[in-house]
Structure 1
């Protein structure tokens, strides 16, 4: 019997549809993978701001994960907004026997600047999850927060911080360079066992970049679910995201930071 590739996202809901669970499911589908979801928090959110956050009880988060893993058997799991220490601990416990690929996007701040991870949850994220994930995908501010230092300013400091993050336990680290300056945006993938891989693209002049981090990590999970090795999955997801950003201005969504165009290859 043919096996359908399945990916699971464990993240928060974005009522505006541009990030979180909604972006992940769109990215899964656009990358030809069936998507399942576990919601950790419900946000009242649009392209301008996050106006409310409702945390889902940790036992309900755990129950959602159990329900999916007992039946659907996803080949890859993407972790996004986890919000609190209680939810992080619940996720770590629920995934303790999972043997597929886990990708952690350490969501901390929304594009609008609103907090999506409680300050006291950072330590729990580092202690309970980082040692068990296959890929960590921080942007530059998130990497700095995890390390308790300033954000990287150049390629060398990006690489140094990536190695420092590897010391915290993940099998691989993808440092995302979108918050850097200059005409070229470069991401850096370190696996600990191979030479660093640089992935570069011309910076796109658009304000419609809401959900880029969610979309990127979800696309990686999708490509892993389809059977690609991690390095190839990251490379394919990088290409997909770049095209989604290039096509973002084909959409007119909201008055703030609009979403990328997840289905740029299908309609626009």
Structure 2
């Protein structure tokens, strides 16, 4: 049976990076930042971690967030003042990723400095430290490990993440939401302009009542089908397709667009 695997990297076990999402304001006014902490694809160590295999109860019972995985081990050797956690985290599995909500310690000067850099997008990533559980990992074709179950030990805000997909991710909170609304407003403007242009065209097509007819109108019965006879195939329909645009509700169309667009960004059509 394989032993627990921690694969030391400097001061700690395996560290995996991931992308930060935009900060959101919690209902209580607390600032909460949501990050994608890990996914199930290959990382730079050629490892793959089963997203459904995360053991997170132990972490959530403590939930400390560090900076660059500095847990004080180096300070114990050098005699320097040991670093303290910069915040608290809560992890959960959502769709195809391990997510974490981070709240920084607003009474700690260093933690506030880190938070400001996260809010500005200067620091974009987190990284996880974990333990591969015995009997749940095996070597893969790239020389790394495929892991079916792993225990989360710690999460850090980091300067250089290990995950190749550690780029800032889009969120519909904050700026992302504003982009969607701006697009929706533009859609309304275009629909309104189209409706106005259609109305102008219809007005211009009306005959001038004061003008003499160019020629004598044909007798009314020339184009009228006899009773019981179906109209010609090329006869114009009473409600032509173009007339449907007259009743177009631009605001309602924009709402439908926003709903569909948000669902597309979030990867879901259930919005």
TM-score scaled to structure 1, two decimals?
0.19
Higher relative CO (Cα under 8 Å, sequence separation at least 6) belongs to 2
User: Highest CA radius of gyration, 1 or 2?
Assistant: 2
TM-score scaled to structure 2, two decimals?
0.19
